[in-house]
Amino acid sequence: MNTADNVLARLHQIIRENSQPLPFVLAYLRKIDPFVFEELLLTCFERQGYNIRRNKRYTGDGGVDGCIWLHGSLYLVQAKRYKDAINPVHVEEFAQVIARRGAAGGYFVHTGRAGDK
C-alpha cells in the first residue's frame, strides 16, 4: 500500500516529467487507495502549517475525512475519488454535515469533473 509520502514523491515525479501534468496526476490519483488519498490531503494541509485532526478510523466517519483549523475556525474535509463527474448529492450531503457540526466551511476534494449541476 502506498503511503501519502510515497504518493507525494510520485506526484512530484509526474509533474517534473510532463509539460502538461494534470491528466497524468488525475489518472494516478484515481488509482491510489481511497484511504491513502484521504491521508494525502491531510498531509498536504499539515505541511502547509495548518492544524489538522485525522480520524481514528476511515470508515463510519459520518462524511468527514478530517478536520482543519484555519485562523481558529474549523473546516471539514471530504475526499472523493471519481472517474467521471462528481455526484451533486455528495456535495449537498457534505454541506449538511458542515452545517450540523457548526463548521466555518469545508473542502470537498475530488478527482472528477465538475458538471453543470
Q: Is the pLDDT of residue 114 over 60?
A: yes
73-80/105-110 β-pairing? parallel
Enumerate domains of the chain plus CATH numbers: 4-110 (3.40.1350.10)
pLDDT at 58: 57
- Surface-to-core class of residue 8, CB atoms within 10 Å of its CB (0-12 exposed, 13-18 middle, 19+ buried): middle
User: pLDDT-based confidence at 1, cuts 50/70/90?
Assistant: very low
pLDDT at 87: 86
The pLDDT tens digits for 11-44 are 999 999 999 999 999 999 999 998 899 999 999 9
Phi and psi based region of residue 63 (left: phi greater than 0; alpha: psi -120 to 50; beta: remaining): left
Q: Which residues are CB-neighbours of 103 under 8 A, at least 6 positions away?
A: 67, 73, 74, 75, 76
What value does the CA radius of gyration of the chain take, rounded to a whole number of Å? 15
Averaged pLDDT score across all residues of the chain: 89
Identity of the amino acid at 7: V
- Mean pLDDT, range 96-106, rounded to an integer: 96
Q: Extract the C-alpha cell encoding 26.
A: 488525475
pLDDT at 63: 76
Report residue 92: phi and psi, to 5°: -60, -45
pLDDT > 70: percent of the chain: 91
